[in-house]
Amino acid sequence: MRTLRLPASALLASLLLALGVLTATPAAPAGADTILPPLPTAPEGDIPGVNVWTCKPTAARPTPVILVHGTFGDRRHLLERLGTSIKAKGFCVYSLDYGNRGTGDIVTSAKQLKAFVAKVRTATGAAKVSMVGHSQGGMMPRYYIKFLGGAPYVDDMVGIAPSNHGTKLLPAFNPIAPLLPGLVCVACDQQAWGSTFLRNLNAGDETPGAVSYTQITSRLDEVVVPHTSGYLAAGARTTNVTIQAKCPFSLSEHVLIPTDRATIGLTLDALTHVGPARPTFQPPC
């Protein structure tokens, strides 16, 4: 059994996200600015082998993969192992920064994603891309798919601890969020259980288009609560899986789940065949 050792930045990100989304406080208007200045992203630069704009998809791997970070995240941290593993399978891999570390209005962030998809498709000549997103990054692309014309351009959408239906943590544990609704993190308010944004996103068809949807969650998730709020409506193109159902001794929670071997195995299964991850697939633990 491994010991959990979280970097200080990851602990802070998890704490800030939890504080921001525990209650559905009145959200700032769509597109509103936060009080945050422009935040730094990844000082080390890109994950090695990721965002190589001369990469050309092969016949075996015709679909580029875009990594989408979560709230308070960036294009590199927590995504290194995922990016390297996907690249090793022969894919062209890309990763973007959006929304001032994912704190800004999600609609605006989805528009940034739309522009990035267009850039990747132009550079690679690919008809479609696949996306692998953590937390907000597993949910925000669904706005692009549903409302910004993205459905024809997305093959797989893999959400890792995605905030698809928000979080339902008790208000008693959240004395700070009501004091700062939307000022520090508009996206946090939008990811609260029952928010106007999520009601709009999830109204009607949760899995539009011919996209294959895979949702990977953890029973130990301390941010997206309950973890099953990451699930999407059942269907032929949808797989909902919890990593402990495959690897009972996994200790990965919201921060560590993108680095988990089971998560990466399920992600690769989704990306390397037609359709979402297979419910019967057993990933390495």
Q: Which residues of the chain have pLDDT under 70?
A: 1-33, 170-182
Q: What pLDDT shows up at residue 19?
A: 37
Burial of 51 (0-12, 13-18, 19+ CB in 10 A): buried
Task: Identify any residues that bridge with 192 across adjacent strands, giving them in sequence order.
Answer: 167
Tell me the CA distances in angstroms from 269 to 30, 155, 228, 281, 283, one per residue in order.
36, 14, 21, 8, 8
Question: Do 258 and 160 meet the contact criterion of CB atoms below 8 Å apart?
Answer: yes
Q: What pLDDT shows up at residue 269?
A: 98
Amino acid at 210: A
Q: What pLDDT shows up at residue 130?
A: 98
Q: What pLDDT shows up at residue 185?
A: 87
Q: Is 24 helix (H, G, I), strand (E, B) or coil?
A: coil
Task: Identify any residues that bridge with 130 across adjacent strands, giving them in sequence order.
Answer: 65
Q: What pLDDT shows up at residue 182?
A: 61
Q: Considering only CA atoms, which of 169, 118, 99, 165 is closest in space to residue 138?
A: 165
Q: What stretch of H or E contains 124?
A: helix 106-124
Q: Are strands 212-217 and 154-160 parallel, antiparallel or unpaired?
A: parallel
Residue 172 contacts by C-beta under 8 Å, 6 or more apart in sequence?
none
Q: Where are the beta strands (DSSP E) in the chain?
A: 65-68, 93-96, 129-134, 154-160, 212-217, 238-242
Q: What pLDDT shows up at residue 169?
A: 75
Number of H helices, E strands in the chain: 9, 6
Give the chain's length.
Answer: 285
Question: Do 61 and 96 meet the contact criterion of CB atoms below 8 Å apart?
Answer: no
Q: What pLDDT shows up at residue 210?
A: 97
For CA atoms 191, 197, 203, 207, give the dihedral sign.
negative
Q: Is 242 helix (H, G, I), strand (E, B) or coil?
A: strand
To the question of pTM greater than 0.85 for the whole model, the response is yes
Backbone phi and psi for residue 268, each to the nearest 5 degrees, phi listed first = -65, -35
Q: What pLDDT shows up at residue 33?
A: 62
Q: What pLDDT shows up at residue 168?
A: 86
Which domains can be identified in the chain, with CATH numbers? 8-271 (3.40.50.1820)
Tell me the CA distances in angstroms from 165 to 84, 143, 221, 238, one per residue in order.
29, 13, 14, 16
